[in-house]
Amino acid sequence: MRNQLKEAKRIVIKVGTSTLIYPNGNINLSAIDQLAFTLTDLSNQGKEIILVSSGAIGVGLNKLNMSKRPSTIPEQQAVAAVGQAELMNIYNQRFLTYSQQIAQLLLTRDVIEYPESRKNVTNTMEQLLQMGIIPIVNENDTVAIDELDHLTKFGDNDQLSAIVAQLIQADALIMLSDIDGFFSDNPNTNKDATLFSEINEINDELLQLAGGKGSRFGTGGMYSKLKAADRVLEHNGAMILANGQNPKIIFDILDGEMIGTLFNRKEKVQ
C-alpha cells in the first residue's frame, strides 16, 4: 500500500499545534515555512491539497503574551479569535512567498449533521481545488465549544481532518504530530516501546494503549488520532501518522518510504 501513496492525487494534511508552536510557546516559523514550501510544491505537481491546521489558541497565547491556556470558555474563544487571525496572516505571508494562493474555511460540527451545509462546504472545497487554491481548514473555536471544553470526543481537529477527508473523498490523510507514529507504549517514558508500521483495524486493545491530551497548547491525544483513523478506515481510506517536526517528511511519505504508522484496510493491500 505504501507504494500506492505515490499515486495519491487528493491529500489532506493535518498539522497539530506541536508542529506550529515550540514548547516554549513561540511560533515555529521554520516549520510553517517548510509546510508552505512542501504543500506548494505538491500543488505544483498537480496534486490537490487540503490543509487542516490547529494552532489558533497556541498562536493566540503567543500573540497575547499569555503563559498558559485560560480556563474559561469565553477566554479560550477570545484567544482563539486573536490567534486564528494571526495564524492565517502568517500562512498567507509564507504561502505567497511561493506564489501559492490559500483560502480559509472555519467549520463547525453542523457541517456534517445537516445535508445542505455539508453539500455547500463540499462544493466550496471542490471549487477551490479546481482553482488550484489550497483550503486551510480549522474548527471555528469562537462558536464550537466541544473542542475547547472536551465535552465530547467529536470536536478536535484530528476528527475534523478525517471528516474533511471523507467529505472530499481524499486518497490519503497525512496527520503530522509530535510523535513518530503509534507505539505500543509511550516512547518518551518506555525505551522498549515499539512502533506499529501498519494497522488495519482499530480495536479495543489499541484504544486502551492510547489516551490523554497532548501538549498544553494542543487538544489532541493519541486516542483522538485512533478515532480519526477509525473513521478513515470505515470509508476505506488511508491515513499516515508521522512526526511533523520537519514537514518536508511529507515528500518521503508520499514516496512510499516506511515512515510513521499507516492505517489501511488489509483487503486494499496488494
User: Where is the binding site for substrate, in residues?
Assistant: 54, 141, 157
Beta carbons within 8 Å of 136's beta carbon, 6+ residues apart? 51, 52, 53, 88, 91, 102, 103, 104, 105
8 A C-beta contact, residue 141 and residue 78: no
8 A C-beta contact, residue 248 and residue 182: no
What is the C-alpha separation between 45 and 22, in angstroms, rounded? 30
Binding residues for ATP, as ranges, are: 14, 177-178, 219-225
- Cell numbers 484530528 correspond to 158
Burial label for 191, CB within 10 Å (0-12, 13-18, 19+), is: exposed
- In order of 162, 212, 217, 241, the CA distances from 136 in angstroms are 14, 27, 19, 19
Binding residues, as ranges, are: 14, 54, 141, 157, 177-178, 219-225
